[in-house]
């Protein structure tokens, strides 16, 4: 039975794990000759990790960093990200991962909003970070990571706070898109992160983990909650190993799974889709995977994937604000139905489906999913709040339940089924995109009079960004195809590549209310696929990840 005292801290949990699991591997990096780090792969044992963390923590402490400081990490998905995070958390420092796909304006917003005390960056990312800092009002010192142990640390510009590091001490701030267009910083405590790992470790059923044996292959990035918190703290607690790929590549996925002897894989719906279009062959079942753990598989692919590759895909629900996931891992499973599990009151996850007035709706009725730990302690093991935004925090917690913004149904067995997202969020390849942010960027272009951005279905990436645009009158414009490419370039220059419109539709009118709020539901008839309309320009081929 896996157990953990949740009053402990991350540093204490690491020390306990090192004593218990010793030379077992904590982290592994798949071999990849084309990668500029660890081309032959690498494994880091619990003892090695603990010793490295002790050494790094001593260097940070000597430079004056400690309780109350915030350090940004622009380290991509390298194992150093986790080692530095553990070292900083040991001292009571809060870590703020920086998405390497951010454009300078987005990084500048994060730096200013989080008021970072230090930025740790890869040398290959230094130039783009400098460009972002030119746009920021706050200019923290920067330390360049050359190797694991040779970081030159500028001294802290303010003293560390006094007090004791405990379970409520902030460990991370993760930025998540909101309906206002500005990302919100979710503050996550030591207790939150350890409780998330413990929840994964104890879900049971088909998701049962074998202490000291399982190897979790996670191709998702370390600047998201899934890899850096959910799976990582699960392996820390259980003596298992996290196999951390630099990114998902369908042509390398099975090679990396096989070479690293992975027994569990994490996935998103887009990963399932891209693996299914790879050529079938006898290698499909040449692996040791016992189950997949993820979300978003298309119902029509669920059973087909399991039949082809020989292991179950366990659909779950979680979010940055609460990632102690509900998961459909106990028989009888509901494959191909968008089911994601039942509430787990015994594990501190209560759920209810409510209407717009927070009243519980009848079974099999669509409503919003609201969740809490319990009636007595509703916020226990949830995020601590949105950074410097108590109003948004309290609004999300109205009526004593956290309002997820997800529309679901619950059947007579208690099983919850995902329906849609209420929030104005577009979900593309696992990334949450605030439509309001894209709209605001489009409206900064001098040609644009009005813009409405929404999600449209995408066969590969779950959803794609579609922009409906009204152009200013009295301006001589080039052909619409050229206009569309110009607006795409404008968005791509100011936002992460995945946020720019994949489709643009030009129109003379966007319906609004009497108070000039856009009525997105009235733009297209319910039975019309906007992608098929005349005048729609397909820009998906322009969306490219930048280095």
Please give the C-alpha separations between residue 274 and each of 239, 279, 340, 462, 520, in angstroms, as whole numbers: 31, 11, 22, 11, 31
Percentage of the chain exceeding pLDDT 70:
97
The pLDDT, as a whole number, for residue 147 is 58
518 vs 503: CA distance, rounded Å: 19
**pLDDT surpassing 70 at residue 398:** yes
What are residue 418's DSSP bridge partners? 408
- DSSP string across 296-364: ---HHHHHHHHHHHSS-EEEEEEETTEEEEEE--SSSP-TTTTB----BGGGTBEEEEE-TTSPBPPTT
For strand 241-244 and strand 291-295, is the pairing parallel, antiparallel, or unpaired? unpaired
Q: Of 318, 232, 219, 319, whose CA–CA distance to 271 is shortest? A: 219
Q: What is the DSSP string of 156-171?
A: PSSPPPPS---TTSEE
Q: What is the pLDDT of residue 181?
A: 60
Q: What count of other Cβ atoms lies within 10 Å of the Cβ of residue 346?
A: 6
> How many angstroms separate the CA atoms of 176 and 183, rounded?
5
The region that residue 388 occupies, defined by phi over 0 for left and psi between -120 and 50 for alpha, beta otherwise, is left
Q: How confident is the model at residue 432 (pLDDT cuts 50, 70, 90)?
A: confident
Lowest mean pLDDT among 180-184, 372-376, 428-432, 533-537: 180-184
Lowest mean pLDDT among 246-260, 372-386, 471-485: 471-485
Q: Cβ distance 75 to 55 under 8 Å?
A: no
What's the pLDDT tens digit per position in 324-370? 999 999 999 999 999 999 999 998 999 999 999 999 999 999 899 99
Average pLDDT, the chain: 93
Q: And the tokens for 291?
A: 């189950």
Total residues found in the chain within this entry: 547
Give mean pLDDT, residues 434-443. 86
Q: What residue has token string 């619950």?
A: 410
Domains of the chain, residue spans: 10-341, 342-376+391-423, 425-542
Band (pLDDT 50/70/90 cuts) for residue 179 is very low
Mean pLDDT of 409-429: 88
Task: Please list, residue by residue across 48-68, b when 16 or more beta carbons sit within 10 angstroms of its beta carbon and e when fewer do.
Answer: bbbebbbebbeebbebbbbbb
Q: What is the DSSP string of 416-473?
A: EEEEEE-SSEEEETTEEEEHHHHHHHHTTSTTEEEEEEEEEEETTTEEEEEEEEEEPT
The per-residue pLDDT for range 237-287, each reduced to its tens digit, is 999 999 999 999 999 999 999 999 999 999 998 899 889 989 998 899 999
Q: How far is CA 61 from the centre of its chain?
A: 30
For residues 447 and 257, give the distance between their C-alpha atoms in angstroms, rounded to a whole number: 49
Peptide bond into 332 cis (omega under 30): yes
Please give the Cα distance from 501 to 456 (Å, whole number): 11
Query: Would residue 208 be called left, alpha or beta, if left means φ above 0 and alpha means ψ between -120 and 50 degrees?
Result: beta
Is 39 a residue whose pLDDT tops 80? Answer: yes
Which superfamily, per CATH, for 425-542? ANL, C-terminal domain (3.30.300.30)
Summarize pLDDT for 291-330 with one digit per residue, the tens. Answer: 999 998 988 899 999 999 999 999 999 999 999 999 999 9
Q: How far apart are the first and last CA of the chain?
A: 44
Q: Which range has the worst mean pLDDT, 175-184, 243-252, 370-379, 385-394?
A: 175-184
Give how far Cα 53 sits from Cα of 48, 148, 231, 417, Å.
8, 10, 19, 42
Two structure tokens written together for 169: 């001490």
- Domain 10-341: give its CATH architecture: 3-Layer(aba) Sandwich (3.40)
**Calpha distance 215→289 (Å, rounded):** 9
Q: How far apart are CA 247 and CA 218, in angstroms?
A: 9
Separation CA 102–CA 123 (nearest Å): 17
Gyration radius of the chain over CA positions: 23
Flag whether pLDDT at 546 surpasses 80.
no
pLDDT of amino acid 209? 97
Whether 513 has a pLDDT exceeding 70, the answer reads no
Place of tokens 């301006």: 475
Give the fold, CATH level 3, of 342-376+391-423: Luciferase; domain 3 (2.30.38)
pLDDT for the residue numbered 45: 98
pLDDT at 435: 85
Select the more confidently predicted residue: 425 or 301.
Answer: 301
Answer yes or no: is pLDDT of 516 > 70. no
Higher pLDDT, 181 or 378: 378
| Amino acid 493: pLDDT | 93
Give the range among 91-105, 173-187, 492-506 with minimum mean pLDDT.
Answer: 173-187
- What is the reported pLDDT for 440? 82
Tokens 């080039």 identify what position? Answer: 478
Q: Is the confidence at residue 431, as pLDDT, over 90?
A: no
**The dihedral formed by the CA atoms of 63, 65, 71 and 74, expressed in degrees to the nearest 10:** 30
The whole-number average pLDDT for the span 407-423 is: 89
The structure tokens listed for 300 are 């029509």
pLDDT higher than 90, residue 527:
no
Contact 343, 376 (CB under 8 A): no
Rounded distance between C-alpha atoms, residue 71 and residue 102, angstroms? 17
């Amino acid at each position: 039975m896996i157990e953990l005292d949740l009053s402990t801290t991350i540093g204490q949990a690491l020390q306990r794990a090192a004593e218990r699991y010793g030379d077992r591997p904590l982290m592994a990096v798949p071999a990849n000759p084309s990668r500029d780090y660890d081309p032959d792969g690498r494994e880091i044992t619990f003892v090695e990790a603990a010793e490295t963390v002790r050494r790094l923590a001593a260097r940070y402490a000597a430079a004056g960093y400690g309780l109350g400081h915030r350090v940004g990490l622009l380290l991509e998905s390298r194992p150093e990200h986790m080692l530095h995070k553990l070292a900083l958390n040991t001292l009571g420092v809060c870590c703020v991962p920086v998405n390497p796909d951010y454009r300078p304006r987005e990084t500048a917003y994060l730096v200013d909003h989080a008021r970072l005390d230090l930025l740790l960056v890869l040398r290959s990312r230094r130039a783009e970070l400098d460009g972002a800092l030119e746009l920021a009002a706050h200019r923290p010192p920067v330390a360049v990571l050359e190797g694991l142990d040779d970081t030159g640390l500028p001294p802290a510009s303010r003293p560390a706070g006094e007090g004791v590091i405990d379970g409520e001490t902030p460990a991370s701030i993760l930025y998540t898109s909101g309906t206002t267009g500005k990302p919100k910083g979710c503050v996550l405590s030591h207790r939150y992160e350890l409780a998330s790992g413990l929840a994964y470790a104890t879900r049971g059923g088909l998701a049962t983990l074998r202490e000291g044996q399982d190897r979790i292959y996670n191709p998702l990035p370390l600047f998201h909650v899934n890899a850096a918190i959910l799976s990582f703290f699960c392996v820390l607690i259980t003596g298992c190993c996290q196999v951390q790929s630099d990114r998902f590549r369908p042509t390398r996925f099975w090679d990396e799974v096989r070479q690293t002897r992975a027994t569990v894989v994490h996935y998103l719906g887009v990963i399932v889709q891209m693996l299914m279009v790879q050529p079938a062959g006898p290698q499909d079942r040449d692996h040791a995977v016992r189950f997949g753990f993820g979300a978003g598989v298309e119902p029509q692919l669920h059973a087909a994937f399991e039949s082809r590759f020989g292991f179950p895909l366990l659909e779950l629900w979680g979010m940055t604000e609460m990632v102690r996931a509900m998961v459909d891992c106990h028989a009888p499973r509901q494959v191909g139905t968008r089911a994601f599990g039942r509430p787990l009151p015994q594990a501190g996850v209560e759920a209810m489906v409510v209407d717009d007035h927070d009243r519980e709706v009848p079974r099999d009725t669509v409503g919003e999913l609201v969740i809490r730990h319990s009636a007595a302690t509703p916020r226990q093991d949830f995020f601590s709040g949105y950074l410097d935004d108590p109003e948004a925090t309290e609004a999300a917690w109205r009526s004593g339940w956290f309002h997820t913004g997800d529309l679901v149904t619950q059947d007579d067995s208690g099983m919850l089924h995902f329906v849609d997202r209420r929030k104005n969020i577009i979900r593309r390849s696992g990334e949450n995109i605030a439509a309001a942010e894209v709209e605001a960027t489009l409206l900064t272009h001098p040609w644009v009079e009005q813009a409405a951005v929404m999600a449209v279905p995408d066969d590969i990436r779950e959803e794609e960004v579609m922009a409906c645009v009204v152009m200013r009158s009295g301006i001589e414009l080039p052909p619409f195809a050229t206009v569309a490419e110009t607006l795409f370039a404008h968005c791509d220059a100011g936002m992460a590549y995945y946020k720019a419109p994949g489709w643009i539709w030009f129109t003379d009118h966007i319906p609004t209310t009497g108070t000039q709020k856009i009525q997105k539901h009235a733009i297209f008839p319910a039975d019309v696929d906007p992608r098929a309309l005349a005048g729609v320009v397909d820009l998906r081929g322009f969306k490219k990840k930048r280095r």
